[in-house]
Each structure stands twice: as C-alpha cells, then as structure tokens.
Amino acid sequence: MVKALQQEIELRKNELQSEKVETIYFGGGTPSVLEVSEIENLIGTVYDNYEVVEDPEITLEANPDDLSKNQMIQLAKSPINRLSIGIQSFYEEDLQLMNRAHNAMEAEQCIKESKRHFENISIDLIYGIPGMDNACWKTNIEKALSFELPHISSYALTVEPKTALKKFIEKGIVADVDDEQAQEQFTILLELLEAEGYVNYEISNFGKPGFFSKNNTSYWRGEKYLGIGPSAHSFDGKSRSWNVRNNSKYIQALEIGTTPGEKETLSKTDRYNEYVMTGLRTIWGVSFGKVEQDFGKKYLDYLHQQAKKYLESHLLFVDDGRLLATKKGKFLIDGIASDLFMLNLG
C-alpha cells in the first residue's frame, strides 16, 4: 500500500503544475498505524515531486490507542508538526457506546504525552450522544479545556447504517439521537469555547488565533487539494475526482501506472452551490461580490431572494457584503445552505 501511495504521488505531480504544497495531511482512518519510517518516506516522496513551502503544516490523524510513548517520541523527530487526536469523549460509557478501542484514561494520558512533544494539537469531541445529558457534555468540554490545547474539533454524532449502534437503536436498547439536545449541546460548546478565546472559524472547528487548521481552512475556502489513496477525493477548482474504494483495485491500478479513480467536471451551478455550502460554514461567509463576479447577476439575485426569510428570522446576517450565519443559525446551516442552492441553471 505504501508503495502504491508513493506511485500515485509521483504519477499525479503535474496536476498541481507550478503551485506550492502548503499542507500535508495524513487522515481518513488510522494512518498512525504506519511505521514512522513509512510516514517519512511518503513525506519524502512529496518533497521529491512537488514544490513545498518552507514551513508546511503536516498533520497526522491518530487515535489514543495508536500513540504509545515511543511512537510519540519518534513522530516528534519526524517532519510531522501537528497531531489531530480522535478523543471523542472522556466518559467510558460514551466510548463503549461508540465502539472506540481506547478508554477514558488512555485518552487523557495520550493528550498529556502529546503535549510533551507537540505544540500544535487538535482533539475531536462528539456531542449528541444518546444518554449524555448537558451537564456531562459541559464536563467533557471543561476537561478538554483543562489541557489548554490550541484547537478543538467537535461534531454531532451521526449513526451510520449497519453499525452496532444503529442496531441497538432499532432494538430500543439505546435511545435515538435527540436533535434538540444536540442543538443545545452545540450552543453550550460555542459559549464555553468562545469564552476561552477560541474562534469558531468553521462550524465544527475551533482554534486559538494562529492555530486554525491550514488544511481545513483551504478546504472550506474552496482551494485546490490533491487526495492520495483509496477513497481519496481531489478538487482543482473546476472538477472533482475520487479514487476507487477497494484497496486491491487501487494497488492493481497503480502497478500498471494508471490513476485508480473517476472524475467529474462541475457545472457553474455545482460550483455556486459548493461555494454557498462551504462559505456559510465559515467566519468568511459568502461574498456577494464573488457570487456576482464568478457566477453572474442571476445567481446573486437568486441568493438575495432565497436568503431573505433567513435574514428576517435572524438565522443569517449581512456584514461588509458577506452573508454569514448567526449563532442561532449555525447548527441549522446545512439545511439553510441547501435552500439557497440553485437547482435550475447550468
């Protein structure tokens, strides 16, 4: 697999043309199970084939059970300069419900050890977990804050089909996700983190000034990215491509020197809809000037028309020619954005 990843990196080097690589992100599962030497080889392959900025953000996603003390020491000596750790919760019962491999003690120990070796650390927390009341959620956040981390990502629990949790809910063993409580817990999250100086620069991401994820920021601002590996997605500003999900098919394609994926060219309407969706999730919002410049007056008039009811209900507001979500509107933003989508223009 590592060899195939290196082959894809080499094979696709012309796609970025003369642009510089600003971030390298190891995500999409558990890349921390790789040997540090394998991670270094992949980073080396990027440097061999692309122009990289002087001080790139290089992030590794990891779970607490993957990060031993020795692993952490080795990673700190590597080019990795940012960790994103999937803590999810500091409560044992929550972790068991979500079928996580680590326990609450491992979660705390992992953060403490990572702080000895890394400055730029992010953790993930999940809210809206069945059985977790607002008091428990507040305690979860306060525990996270006690570590004084520069970045926290937090997501509402989604119940995937064909999972143990889905079956438990269907059988009535576990209560279903309560959307109203999830919204309350998002509000608690927003209030507590902003009071501690975190900026909610994207709906699910909170960073101290200077510690916004460059990778996340690029994605939400519609910049180009190149995805390497099975299931990885790429975007060049006008088209989107994605690799085959199957590991064997992925490796076989690379062995004969072909890219193992599909591609679609986005229409003007597709690009407008994506801009609205991503822009509304961020502190940068949706620029009326950009909509008119990139898509035309018809799209701008449509945006104004569709946004009117959300402005009146104080779910959206306008600031300096940009459309943004209010605190009340943030939790509902995906539904609001979909109502602003253009459906009938090419």
Strand partners, 85: 62, 123
Kindly state the average pLDDT of the residues 195-224.
94
Task: Count CB neighbours of 203 within 10 A.
Answer: 21
User: 280-309, pLDDT tens digit by residue?
Assistant: 999 999 999 999 999 999 999 999 999 999
Same CATH fold assignment for domains 20-220 and 268-340: no
Third-level CATH fold of 268-340: Arc Repressor Mutant, subunit A (1.10.10)
Closest CA to 75 of 44, 42, 40, 104: 40
Closest CA to 45 of 229, 216, 219: 229
User: 54-67, pLDDT tens digit by residue?
Assistant: 999 999 999 998 88
CA 115/CA 343 separation, integer angstroms: 48
Q: Residue 162: pLDDT band by 50, 70, 90 thresholds? A: low
Averaged confidence pLDDT in the chain: 91
Strand partners, 325: 316
- Give the whole-number percent of the chain exceeding pLDDT 90: 73
Residues 6+ apart with CB under 8 A from 210: 150
Q: What does the pLDDT read at residue 163?
A: 61
Domain covering 20-220 assigned CATH 1.10.10.60 in the classification: no
Q: Residue 95: pLDDT band by 50, 70, 90 thresholds? A: confident
Q: What does the pLDDT read at residue 160?
A: 65
CA 90/CA 79 separation, integer angstroms: 29
Q: What does the pLDDT read at residue 252?
A: 94
Kindly state the average pLDDT of the residues 39-48.
96
User: 73-94, pLDDT tens digit by residue?
Assistant: 999 999 999 999 999 999 888 7
Q: Residue 17: pLDDT band by 50, 70, 90 thresholds? A: confident
Residues 6+ apart with CB under 8 A from 127: 137, 154, 155, 156, 157, 182, 185, 186, 189
Sequence spans of domains, the chain: 20-220, 268-340
Pick 180 or 148 by higher pLDDT: 148
> Is residue 344 scored above 80 in pLDDT?
no
Q: What does the pLDDT read at residue 346?
A: 45
The four Cα atoms 144, 146, 150, 156 give a dihedral, to 10 degrees, of 20
User: 228-271, pLDDT tens digit by residue?
Assistant: 999 999 998 889 999 999 999 999 999 999 988 899 999 999 99
